[in-house]
Structure 1
Amino acid sequence: MSIHIAGGPAADTVSTDEGRRRQAALAELLVDLQAHGLRVESPIEGRRGGAGPSDSGQLWVGGYSLTVPTDNATAADSPYALKAEDDGYGIYRDGERLADAHGQARPRFYDLQTADGIPYWQIGLLHLDSFASTVVQTCTYWGTADQCTFCGIELSLEAGRTIVKKTPEQLAEVALAAKNLDGAVDVTLTTGSSKAPDRGARYVARCGHAVKEATGLPVEVQFEPPRDLEVLDEVHDLGIDTLGIHVETFDPDVLARVAPGKAHTGIERYFETWERAVEIFGKGQVTTYVILGMGEDPDLTIRGCQRAIDIGVYPFVVPLRPVAGSLMADASPPDAAYTNRINRRVVSYMALRGMYSTVAKAGCARCQACSGMRALEPLAAQGAL
């Protein structure tokens, strides 16, 4: 597969047949890297464990942000290699250079600590250009029959890489340093689920409010559907810009198997919550993760994404990223062709509805590094998918 991609996604990327061919090849490469991982011959910044893009390196490939497995068995056997060059890196397969890549330097704020001695990196991390933190590193489902099998939220806590609960003041302090020292452009705050009726929404929103007051950056907070949907108004009143309310899969049988706690909530309750959230936060400012590769029915998945798009929700489609130590640690990522097929259907439908990643003010849909969707948007905008 010869691609030879250089530079970023310019406005005229797909203005010619050759441009469209190159863009399609780049989009396929990004998905293939997420499926097969990347053998890293020179160190790059990344992260292990936790609730985010685990066991992954963080890169810009052909101008697109990307998290790609670098620290697991999949990556060790990958046909792709990252090689250091005079100006950044190159992505190679079988000795052939396919694309430019640029890494993220170790964030400078990681070398700081709070007045009581907590390293800043235990409070929040930089995911390329986004500051992110799990504000409460425990979950009511963890260690029970309702535990999400793909999740590793408490693994980084057990390994001593974070603290159990971050305060609004700590997060504001560290996020400000991430902005000033390392150029963070937005903030994503998630949390383990709580037994409380608000499912932890109020606390993560308080944290988001403190961060926004200190930094002025747009903020996304993520939580499960609260029992009382008026909680969404409270979250909005705290100045939060976007919400992540993640159903994970639209296949009810798969949801019951991989996320029993969420299955108790029910997929229809997610739709009810999203509808109210879109009324408050606006179209494209509410997102849901949709994980591929867990045995889901692809037709159900596409229809669920289309229904979400129709009410203004951005379905963030990602391949399964098995987390070492999780209940799905031995699972395999989905085949790249399957992921690309779903991505094309979803991104095409989003383009018909005028929904693009550039609409999102903050969060996963803004960052896009864990998905291959953004590279398809220029093609979808021209009806070339």
Structure 2
Amino acid sequence: MDNIGRLESPDYVQTSLAGAMALGLEPGSFYRNAYPGSLNLLMTYQEGCRANCSYCGLARERHAAPDENTFIRVKWPAYKLSNIIEILMRPPQAAAAKVQRLGRICISMITHPEAADDCIEIVKRLSDATPLPISVLASPTMLQDASAFFRDIKSAGADRVGIAVDAATPELFSATRGQAVGGPHRWETYWESIEQAVKVFAKDYVSVHLIVGLGETEQAMVQTIQKANKYGAQAHLFSFCPEPGSLLSNHKPPSLGQYRRIQVAAYLLNRNQITADELCFDAHGKIISFGKQLDALLGDDLAAGQPFMTSGCPNREGCVACNRPYGNERPGPVLRNYPFQPGDSDIQTIKGQIWDD
């Protein structure tokens, strides 16, 4: 399709508000200096996303007021890709300090027929222009040949892939993303794509995004995290937060205790320190024990608060770049994913939340 005169990919992309601020394209400051380590780019088309996920700000049937036309509750302004590349290519002495903090670029596809080909083109343009590592958050529904697509984006310059399964069970997936809400996504398609992505990018170079609090039990989420690990993928967690105008706009976020326990479980499972069978659950599927005391399982990592920091793709030094500042909550004292290393007072707060529902 000819997109001349239209703010569409591959020539245009949206960026998160935090990303736009880091590039100097939007004004603002970061609470507790939580600068983003990854530039998150979202593909964009005039027709929008063809999916209808019940929790998503991009959903086809979302009904929101003009001032609530957001994604993850913030605006995602659109910019010309060439302008973003120009900013990223500035020499270190000319680049703003916020830009210098960026350690990765992540390109998110949306459910649109042209997204796969355009994504490959965007990866190539960015890879040719900047040394920053590049991730792609792929939409399996749009991939006619997942294996070929993953080979193409790897050849174009991507080094990692993410796939947002989001829902922890096939039943919840259908109810929130599939046939029950008139959506095109299918559970089996997503897991088949994860399998193909791992074959192309290798073990631990693929991530599975999961949203805690869509209605699953803690036991079901733990089992799905372990499923992702068995496929060779790492699980990256998000806490449900309602989008105004979405079908789940009145659905409550999970308790802090629920989210903290899943963070601990994911941290241990991703590192092969435990298996799901070692955890104990009550009759409602709630975690009541990790098999050992957390101090013994986590040691210095617990003291440093690492299980409660945002899980995401790393920079070239191996540190998490995709810290997504305040992607799960408004800036403030109650944080779910810490976009920085928690301080001593934060650690004490977190410890008090793990078993407090």
* Matching residue of 1:255: 173
In the superposition, the TM-score normalised over structure 1's length comes to 0.56
How far residue 269 of structure 1 moved from its aligned partner, in angstroms, is 2.4
Counterparts of 1:281 and 1:222, CA distance in 2 = 13
* Matching residue of 1:131: 39
Indicate yes or no: 2:272 matched with 1:367: no
How far residue 337 of structure 1 moved from its aligned partner, in angstroms, is 0.5
Query: Contact 2:89–2:130 (CA<8 Å) still a contact in 1?
Result: yes
How far residue 205 of structure 1 moved from its aligned partner, in angstroms, is 2.6
* Matching residue of 1:290: 210
Query: Contact 1:309–1:353 (CA<8 Å) still a contact in 2?
Result: no
In the superposition, the TM-score normalised over structure 2's length comes to 0.60
Aligned counterparts, 1:297-312, within 5 A: 297-312=217-232
Indicate yes or no: 2:114 matched with 1:209: no
Instruction: Classify the secondary structure of the residue corresponding to 2:209.
Output: strand
Counterparts of 1:330 and 1:238, CA distance in 2 = 41
Counterparts of 2:122 and 2:168, CA distance in 1 = 30
Matched residue type, 1:255: F
1:52–1:271 CA distance, 2 compared to 1 (3 A) = farther
Q: Which moved more, 1:132-141 or 1:225-234?
A: 132-141
1:171–1:244 CA distance, 2 compared to 1 (3 A) = farther
How far residue 190 of structure 1 moved from its aligned partner, in angstroms, is 1.0
Residues 137-188 of structure 1: CA deviation (Å, up to 9, x unaligned): 567655xxx511211137349x99634xx66534423444698322122111
How far residue 290 of structure 1 moved from its aligned partner, in angstroms, is 0.4
Hey, which of these two has a bigger chunk of strand by percent?
Answer: 1
Matched residue type, 1:191: M
How far residue 235 of structure 1 moved from its aligned partner, in angstroms, is 1.1
* Matching residue of 1:242: 160
How far residue 281 of structure 1 moved from its aligned partner, in angstroms, is 1.3
Query: Contact 2:37–2:323 (CA<8 Å) still a contact in 1?
Result: no
Counterparts of 1:139 and 1:218, CA distance in 2 = 30
Instruction: Classify the secondary structure of the residue corresponding to 1:217.
Output: coil
Counterparts of 2:272 and 2:119, CA distance in 1 = 34
How far residue 336 of structure 1 moved from its aligned partner, in angstroms, is 0.6
Residues 48-67 of structure 1: CA deviation (Å, up to 9, x unaligned): xx99878xxx7xxxxxxxxx
1:367–1:162 CA distance, 2 compared to 1 (3 A) = closer
* Matching residue of 2:82: 169
1:341–1:192 CA distance, 2 compared to 1 (3 A) = same
How far residue 203 of structure 1 moved from its aligned partner, in angstroms, is 1.1
How far residue 227 of structure 1 moved from its aligned partner, in angstroms, is 2.4
Counterparts of 2:226 and 2:15, CA distance in 1 = 25
Instruction: Classify the secondary structure of the residue corresponding to 1:227.
Output: coil
Match of 1:228 among 145, 158, 172: 145
Query: Contact 1:292–1:319 (CA<8 Å) still a contact in 2?
Result: yes
Which stretches in structure 2 are left out of the alignment for 5+ residues? 1-12, 28-33, 60-68, 275-306, 328-335, 348-357
Residues 354-383 of structure 1: CA deviation (Å, up to 9, x unaligned): 9x968745899642445648979xx9xxxx
How far residue 319 of structure 1 moved from its aligned partner, in angstroms, is 0.7
1:349–1:105 CA distance, 2 compared to 1 (3 A) = same
Residues 284-312 of structure 1: CA deviation (Å, up to 9, x unaligned): 22112100111113322211110111222
Instruction: Classify the secondary structure of the residue corresponding to 2:105.
Output: strand
Residues 247-297 of structure 1: CA deviation (Å, up to 9, x unaligned): 111212211221126975432322221122112112222112100111113
Counterparts of 1:358 and 1:109, CA distance in 2 = 23
Aligned counterparts, 1:68-79, within 5 A: none
Query: Contact 2:110–2:139 (CA<8 Å) still a contact in 1?
Result: no
Instruction: Classify the secondary structure of the residue corresponding to 1:271.
Output: helix
Counterparts of 2:129 and 2:14, CA distance in 1 = 25
Matched residue type, 2:36: L
Residues 318-339 of structure 1: CA deviation (Å, up to 9, x unaligned): 1102223333222221101011
Match of 1:334 among 242, 254, 258: 254
Indicate yes or no: 2:108 matched with 1:194: no
1:320–1:214 CA distance, 2 compared to 1 (3 A) = same
Residues 59-100 of structure 1: CA deviation (Å, up to 9, x unaligned): xxxxxxxxxxxxxxxxxxxxxxxxxxxxxxxxxxxxxxxxxx
Number of matched pairs: 258
Counterparts of 1:178 and 1:345, CA distance in 2 = 42
Matched residue type, 1:150: Y
Query: Contact 2:312–2:323 (CA<8 Å) still a contact in 1?
Result: no
